[in-house]
């Protein structure tokens, strides 16, 4: 097993957390693709231990929803029977929250003073449908204060790498136009580059958060360190792989 590559943010320095990459392009933290389930489970457990020794991983079955699970105790980390959601929050020490991504935005949240943390998976659909706002509200239900919540966006596909078409753009409200810039025309078909990181950060600010940071890592262009579903698909390569992002209360 190659060494973990873990990056953290100064904004979350008070809590154990990390955005995981690969030292050699081999880490695959998701259950949905090829590979032995027991090996994936062991890798995820080792990652959780790297964040918080003895911590128990709670990572949901993600489906691009706006749904959030409040975690009071960890569940069996297996391909089947995990709660279906795209965000998790907890006020219970010893639980390591985890979400997996492969171009979508992983966001880690913490209100250190209140002792509440969260993790969300926000692709364009989740961000439009409210997964970020729902995560913040779920943290508030555990005692967090919106003005005290810090949020950090991890490795996400960058605007220059995210070309979209007319039907995609039509799914967004007019006030999101600033997140689209024209892409080079091919065959007379209109296309744009979509700023997913910018859209996520804007939604967090609109939700009332003031402590916001972006790790600034493009999953598409960092070929060795991150898996990119879009990059793999364009190259005709195996198109399944996942990063994992984790946060915990000590």
Give the number of domains in the chain. 1
CB 86 within 8 A of CB 65: yes
Beta bridge partners of 181: 193
- Give the ranges where the chain is alpha helix by DSSP (H): 37-51, 124-129, 131-141, 166-169, 196-206, 229-235
Task: From residue 174, give the alpha-carbon distance in Å to each of 2, 143, 148, 234.
Answer: 45, 34, 30, 29
If you average pLDDT over residues 151-170, what whole number do you get? 95
| Entry pTM | 0.95
Q: What is the per-residue pLDDT for 109?
A: 99
Pair type for strands 243-248 and 17-22: antiparallel
Residue 51 in tokens: 């964040």
Q: What is the per-residue pLDDT for 99?
A: 97
How far apart are the C-alpha atoms of 172 and 210, rounded to whole Å?
24
Q: What is the per-residue pLDDT for 33?
A: 72
pLDDT tens for 196-216 read 999 999 999 999 999 999 999
Q: What is the per-residue pLDDT for 238?
A: 67
Inform me whether the pLDDT recorded for 225 exceeds 90.
no
CB 119 within 8 A of CB 87: yes
CB 139 within 8 A of CB 111: yes
- Kindly tell me the burial class for residue 2, based on how many C-beta atoms sit within 10 Å of its own C-beta (0-12, 13-18, 19 or more): exposed
How far apart are the C-alpha atoms of 125 and 76, rounded to whole Å?
28
Residue range of the domain that includes 124: 4-248
Task: From residue 77, give the alpha-carbon distance in Å to each of 16, 31, 41.
Answer: 20, 10, 7
| CATH code for position 157 | 3.60.140.10
Number of other CB atoms surrounding residue 4 within 10 Å:
17
Q: What is the per-residue pLDDT for 224?
A: 81
């Amino acid at each position: 097993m190659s060494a973990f590559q873990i990056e953290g943010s100064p904004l979350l320095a008070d809590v154990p957390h990390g955005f995981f990459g690969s030292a050699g392009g081999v880490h695959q933290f998701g259950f949905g693709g090829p590979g032995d389930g027991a090996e994936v489970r062991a890798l995820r457990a080792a990652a959780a231990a790297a964040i918080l020794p003895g911590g128990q991983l709670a990572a949901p079955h993600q489906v691009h929803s706006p749904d959030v699970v409040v975690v009071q105790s960890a569940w069996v980390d297996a391909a089947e029977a995990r709660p279906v959601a795209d965000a998790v929050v907890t006020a219970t020490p010893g639980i390591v929250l985890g979400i997996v991504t492969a171009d979508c935005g992983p966001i880690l949240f913490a209100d250190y003073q209140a002792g509440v943390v969260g993790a969300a998976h926000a692709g364009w659909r989740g961000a439009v449908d409210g997964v970020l706002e729902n995560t913040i509200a779920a943290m508030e239900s555990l005692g967090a204060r919106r003005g005290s919540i810090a949020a950090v966006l991890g490795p996400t596909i960058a605007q220059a790498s995210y070309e979209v078409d007319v039907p995609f753009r039509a799914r967004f409200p007019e006030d999101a136009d600033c997140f689209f810039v024209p892409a080079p025309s091919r065959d007379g078909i209109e296309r744009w580059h979509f700023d997913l990181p910018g859209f996520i950060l804007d939604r967090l600010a609109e939700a009332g958060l003031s402590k916001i940071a972006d790790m600034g890592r493009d999953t598409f262009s960092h070929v060795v360190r991150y898996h990119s579903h879009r990059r793999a698909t364009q190259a005709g390569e195996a198109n399944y792989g996942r990063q994992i992002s984790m946060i915990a209360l000590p």
